[in-house]
Amino acid sequence: MSEDQQSLKAEVRQACLCQRTSLGEKERKRKSGIIQQKLMDLQEFKLAQTVMLFLNFREEVETTAMAEATLACKKKLVLPRCAPNSILLPIEVHDLIQDIEPGTYGIREPKLTLGVVEPSEIDLIIVPGSGFDLQGNRLGYGGGYYDRFFMLLNPLTPRIALGFECQVIPQVPVGKHDALMTMLITENGVYNFNS
């Protein structure tokens, strides 16, 4: 990726994150609840046996209740752990208190002592991002962790991004390694890109 493209991505990322920060905690909680309900109503979620989710960090859509609901539905819950070389380890979690510790960047991550799941077993992956557009593009945080991980999944596994409507922009700057999302869920709706 060219330096110009990297600097454009960094600029757009910063603008999207500023929008997200401006929501405030009360509004973020309210909108996160709406997003959670939209996710749980999806056929893709209902049918999935193994769901990979993320535990929210900073001002991301709150996902702790989604993780609890996934376990309550007797689904296999998989959470990512950052490993060296921008690798994500998909680890199965049974308990959101005992199985979690502060990991890279202070993000809540599953303990390494738990079992790593084969990426091809994942039926649904739910991911964060800093910005999104309505063509299915997602702007991550710059580490490339998820884009590398998507290549290990079954190509038919739905990739659902969660974000707030204020993070949706007309066009996300993309590189050749950036994977398209299947769906984006915001408080305003479910955008389906599976055409």
Binding site as annotated, residues for substrate: 55, 60
Region 167-192 average pLDDT:
94
Q: How confident is the model at residue 154 (pLDDT cuts 50, 70, 90)?
A: very high
The more confidently predicted of residues 105 and 117 is 117
User: What is the domain count for the chain?
Assistant: 1
Q: Is the dihedral of CA 12, 13, 15, 19 positive or negative?
A: positive
Binding site as annotated, residues: 9-13, 55, 60, 138-146
Q: Which domain holds residue 174?
A: 3-192
Secondary element (H or E) of residue 7: helix 3-21
| pLDDT tens, position by position, 31-75 | 999 999 999 999 999 999 999 999 999 999 999 999 999 999 999
- Summary mean pLDDT of the chain: 94
Please report the pLDDT score of residue 86 as a whole number: 84
Task: Give the HSE-up count for residue 138: Cα atoms under 13 Å, Cβ half-sphere.
Answer: 29
Binding site as annotated, residues for ATP: 9-13, 138-146
Residue 173 pLDDT more than 70?
Answer: yes
Look up the pTM and report it: 0.94
The more confidently predicted of residues 116 and 85 is 116
Task: Provide the CATH number for the domain around residue 150.
Answer: 3.40.50.10420
Q: How confident is the model at residue 104 (pLDDT cuts 50, 70, 90)?
A: confident
